[in-house]
Structure 1
Amino acid sequence: MLENLQFILGVFESFLLCKRFPPTAATVSSALLLGICSLPDTIFRNAVDMALADSECNKHENSELRLSCFCNKALVNVGTDLAKLVTG
């Protein structure tokens, strides 16, 4: 529980830093995706939801391939949205 709270506080702190110091690079990682999914409402949540609804990924019978497809789509979708916010 404490680890979860520390993670959420870290994400929130990063969010506040982004408000004070706008990002200059659009880098998406699995940690960022986890943070997006851990928070109830973020501007990037729709990008993750769209990846999970992708019909191409749902066609994979192998669960590892399906999960990999979902993750890749989510990374691209979030990166696309993040790039719209980055000035540099």
Structure 2
Amino acid sequence: MGNSESNESAAVKRQAEGGSTPMYEILDLKGGGTLFYITKRAMIKKDYKELDEAIKAKVQPYLYNGGQGKMVPIAQLTMLRNRDRSKSKQV
């Protein structure tokens, strides 16, 4: 028959298993990583201050403009979305 999972999801899993991406040290697909253990501790203690600080410190480098984001006109978002869609699904 066919594969039970798509090639795309298999590629994502293989990428995470390699451990070459620093982001997966923060949180991985196997239920581990720095944030996982900090979250577990925070839930037990009912004190989320350490978790909030860890998220701000560890996740911020992966965000656009240090987490400040960017204002993008809706027309530009629509063009970007349509670029990746098939003709029948374009808006």
The interval holding the TM-score normalised by the smaller chain is: under 0.3
Higher share in helix? 1
Give the TM-score, by structure 2 length.
0.26
Report 1 or 2 for greater relative contact order, CA contacts < 8 Å, sequence distance ≥ 6: 1
Give the TM-score, by structure 1 length.
0.27
Computing the radius of gyration from Cα coordinates, the structure with the larger value is 2
